[in-house]
């Protein structure tokens, strides 16, 4: 049976892994290549790198990091952040990314998703959706780290991205991100039930039960977390053992 | 310096469909001294000792790009005559026909490529998503006469044998039902069941590995399947089919 995936997420800026609370208050977590290697050894199913570099001067750094990781770590690598055109997708794939995550640019130019999927295949196009609850059972898509509302309904947007060729959705609750009080399970469930493509739940993991809930209650195909792994609270292996005890199929 | 005519150990066929870097990196990892090239040159494919035939994207595009580069006959030749490893679409393209875009394949192996049904559910009633993406167990199938005596194996005092699913050299050192990384929406249905070297379930069994003489092909991505995947690639590098 197909295993549910655990995906450690590395937010990278200026060549370092950092983690903040709701996209502010960044805290240094270490060297990305070293961290990637450690998670691979612990049995991570995939790794996601988000380049949150603000300055365009530093944009080249992520390519060198991905090149180094890809020569040492033989599991799928997703890279996102600052992907604006098909050429950016190509450059990241050439550096060693297996999938490229598109967020704000998908909203500014939805055709980018169709073009990138048409050129490189849906399997390597992830659309990242940052959503905030607007009302009970309704979530709005935000950009710019949760600061800018788009007026788009998150479920409708996810369906549209699937139709344009996204192979997977990385769904982050901006209400929960960095809060450590668990995924927005209603959001996760609403999106995963509406789609035929896999959904990665993100935002809010503070303990191992949260990961299990994302799968069992949220219906996520994969769960993503950052700080619980970065700061040594849990290893990926511990997370998998916990999920297995809860009857979730994992790769041990 | 080595000349241009130095024998190529492994040619990874590049027909312009996406990223072959991870395949190349993984091969270098398991065989640091080998001369490995990623090439769209039919001559390089013809001159290589071994050929890896990867693929991603949509099969109609893959077939078109393969022909646009004049690679078809070199690939067919390699698939019939030298150690040959197909990966993902590189497995699917070996068959006669794909439902993806209703396109003809290379026809090396008889059979069809079909899509996973939509609306599949798991035992808990959750949707089974397509693409089939992630780590799934690979059940090795063996066709040697020994497999008919599996009961005898189970009774054998040499307990190590119990883990062995298949005696094909490419499964060497890889335990039965090991997980590999998949990402695909279509799968192969070979006409000849004796070609099948591995199955996986989603939720019904589907074929994920086939072999014929010098050829081995898999639906999953060994280059992205951590230690088990590297082991399979190493087995391919060491494989000398007669």
Q: Which residues have CB under 8 Å from B242's CB, separation 6+?
A: none
Show the 3-state SS of chain B.
CCCCCCCEEEEEECCCCCCCHHHHHHHHHHCCCCCEEEECCHHHHHHEEEEEECCCCCHHHHHHHHHHCCCHHHHHHHHHHCCEEEECHHHHCCCCEECCCCEECCCCCCEEEEECCCCCECCCCCECCCCEEEEEEEEECCCCHHHHHHHHHHHCCCHHHHHCCCCCHHHCCCCCCEEEEEEECEEEEECCHHHEEEEEECCCEEEEEEEECCEEEECCCHHHCHHHHHHHHHHHHHCCCC
Q: Give ∠ CA B5-B30-B14 in degrees, rounded to 5.
A: 50
Query: Which pLDDT value is given to residue B156?
Result: 37
Q: Is the pLDDT of residue B227 over 80?
A: yes
Active site residues of B: 88, 221, 223
pLDDT of the residue at A28: 85
Cα–Cα nearest to A165, from A220, A206, A228, A123: A123
**B4-19 pLDDT per residue, tens:** 557 999 999 999 876 7
Task: Check whether the bond before B131 is cis (ω within 30° of 0).
Answer: yes
How close A61 gets to chain B, by Cα (Å)?
19
pLDDT band at A144 (very low <50, low <70, confident <90, very high): confident
| Residues in chain A within 8 Å Cβ distance of B23 | none
Q: Which of A157-166, B155-164, B176-185 bottoms out in mean pLDDT, i.e. has the lowest?
A: B155-164
Collapsing DSSP states into helix, strand and coil, what is residue A124?
Answer: helix
SS3 A228: helix
Which residues in chain A have Cβ-Cβ distances shorter than 8 Å to B225? 74-75
Least confident of B88-102, B144-158, B226-240: B144-158
Interface of B with A (CB under 8 A): 17-19, 21-22, 25-26, 28-29, 56-58, 118, 122, 126-137, 179, 181-184, 201-203, 223-226, 229-230
Strand-pairing partners, residue B115, are B186
Phi and psi of A189, rounded to 5°? -65, -40
Nearest C-alpha neighbor of A2 from the set B222, B86, B218, B131: B131
**Confidence band, pLDDT 50/70/90 cuts, at residue A200:** very high
H-run or E-run covering A183 = none
| Nearest CA among B117, B85, B42 for reference residue B237 | B85
CB under 8 Å to A77, separation ≥6 — which residues? A46, A47, A48, A49, A66, A69, A70, A96, A97, A98, A99
| B85 against A24, higher pLDDT | B85
Tens of pLDDT, residue by residue over B117-133, are 988 998 878 889 999 99
Question: Cis before residue B203, ω within 30 degrees of 0?
Answer: yes
> Does the pLDDT at position A37 exceed 90?
yes
C-alpha torsion angle, residues B197, B199, B205, B207 (rounded to 10)? -60
DSSP string, A131-170: EEEEETTEEEEEETTTTEEEEEEHHHHHHHHHHHT-SEEE
A5 phi, psi to nearest 5 deg: -95, 145
Q: Cα separation of A136 and A153, whole Å?
A: 13
Residue B18 has its nearest CB partner, among A5, A120, A197, at: A120
Out of A45, A93, A197, the one facing B129 most closely (by C-beta) is A197
- B57 contact residues in A (CB cutoff 8 A): 120-121, 123
Q: Span B45-67, mean pLDDT?
A: 93
| Distance set, CA B126 to CA A40, A192, A247, B184 (Å) | 28, 9, 14, 19
Q: What is the pLDDT of residue B155?
A: 38
State residue B149's pLDDT score: 43
> Do B84 and B117 contact (CB within 8 A), yes or no?
no
The pLDDT of residue A7 is 98
CA A100-A102-A104 angle, 5° bins: 160
* Residue indicated by tokens 């190590």: B160
Per annotation, catalytic residue among A11, A40, A45, A177: A11
B159 burial type by CB count under 10 A (0-12 exposed, 13-18 middle, 19+ buried) = exposed
pLDDT digits 0-9 by tens, A39-83: 999 999 999 999 987 666 677 899 999 999 999 999 999 999 989
Q: Could you tell me if A144 and A107 are in contact, meaning their C-beta atoms sit under 8 angstroms apart? A: no
Confidence at B152, pLDDT banded by 50, 70, 90 = very low
| B189 CB neighbour count, 10 Å cutoff | 12
pLDDT bracket for residue B39 (50, 70, 90): very high
Q: Report the residue from A1, A93, A198 with minimal CB separation from B18.
A: A93
Average pLDDT over residues B225-236: 98
- What pLDDT, on a 0 to 100 scale, did the predictor assign at position B242? 78
Mean pLDDT of A24-35: 84
Residue A120 Cα, gap to closest chain B Cα (Å): 6
CB distance A228 to A234 below 8 Å: yes
Q: Both tokens of residue B232?
A: 């399979």
Integer angstrom CA distances of residue B228 from A4, A189, B134, B173, B232 = 18, 33, 14, 9, 6
- DSSP reduced 3-state for A7: strand
Residues in chain B: 242
**Residue A222: its chain B contacts at CB < 8 A?**
134
Q: How many angstroms separate the CA atoms of A166 and A83, rounded?
A: 14
Q: Is residue A82 within 8 Å of residue A49, measured between CB atoms?
A: no
Q: Enumerate the residues of chain B whose CB falls inside 8 A of the CB of residue A219.
A: 126-127
Q: How far is A2 from chain B, CA to nearest CA, in Å?
A: 4
């Amino acid at each position: 049976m197909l295993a549910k995936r655990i995906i450690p997420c590395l937010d990278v800026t200026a060549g370092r892994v950092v983690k903040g609370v709701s996209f502010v208050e960044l805290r240094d977590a270490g060297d990305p290549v070293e961290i990637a290697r450690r998670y691979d050894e612990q049995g991570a199913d995939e790794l996601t790198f988000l380049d949150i570099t603000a300055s365009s001067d530093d944009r080249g750094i992520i390519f060198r990091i991905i090149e180094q990781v890809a020569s040492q770590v033989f599991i799928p690598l997703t890279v996102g952040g600052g992907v604006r055109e098909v050429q950016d997708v190509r450059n990241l794939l050439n550096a060693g990314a297996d999938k490229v995550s598109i967020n704000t640019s998908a909203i500014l130019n939805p055709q980018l998703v169709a073009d990138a999927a048409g050129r490189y295949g849906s399997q390597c196009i992830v659309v990242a959706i940052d959503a905030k609850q607007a009302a009970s059972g309704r979530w709005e898509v935000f950009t710019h780290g949760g600061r800018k509302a788009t007026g788009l309904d998150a479920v409708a947007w996810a369906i549209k991205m699937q139709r344009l060729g996204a192979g997977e959705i990385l769904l982050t609750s901006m209400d929960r991100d960095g809060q450590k009080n668990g995924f927005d399970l209603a959001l996760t469930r609403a999106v995963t039930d509406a789609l035929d493509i896999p959904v990665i739940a993100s935002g809010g993991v503070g303990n191992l039960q949260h990961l299990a809930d994302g799968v069992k209650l949220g219906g996520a195909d994969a769960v993503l977390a950052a700080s619980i792994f970065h700061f040594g609270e849990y290893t990926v292996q511990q997370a998998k053992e916990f999920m297995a005890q809860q009857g979730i199929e994992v790769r041990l | 310096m080595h000349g241009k005519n130095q024998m190529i150990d492994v040619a990874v066929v590049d027909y312009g469909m996406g990223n072959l870097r991870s395949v190349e990196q993984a091969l270098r990892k398991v065989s640091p001294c080998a001369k490995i090239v990623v090439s769209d040159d039919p001559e390089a494919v013809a001159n290589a000792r071994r050929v890896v035939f990867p693929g991603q994207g949509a099969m109609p595009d893959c077939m078109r790009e393969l022909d646009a580069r004049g690679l078809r006959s070199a690939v067919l030749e390699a698939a019939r005559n030298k150690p040959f490893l197909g990966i993902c679409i590189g497995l699917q393209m070996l068959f006669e026909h794909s439902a993806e875009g209703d396109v003809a394949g290379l026809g090396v192996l008889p059979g069809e490529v079909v899509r996973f049904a939509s609306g599949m559910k798991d035992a808990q009633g959750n949707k089974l998503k397509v693409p089939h993406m992630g780590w799934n167990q690979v059940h090795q199938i063996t066709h040697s006469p020994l497999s008919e005596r599996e009961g005898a194996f189970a009774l054998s005092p040499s307990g190590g044998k119990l883990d062995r699913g298949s005696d094909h050299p490419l499964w060497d050192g890889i335990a039965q039902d090991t997980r590999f990384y998949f990402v695909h929406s279509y799968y192969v249905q070979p006409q000849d069941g004796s070609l099948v070297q591995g199955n996986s379930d989603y939720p019904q069994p589907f074929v994920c590995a086939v072999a014929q003489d010098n050829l081995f092909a898999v639906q999953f991505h060994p280059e992205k399947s951590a230690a088990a995947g590297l082991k399979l690639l190493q087995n391919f590098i060491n494989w000398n089919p007669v």
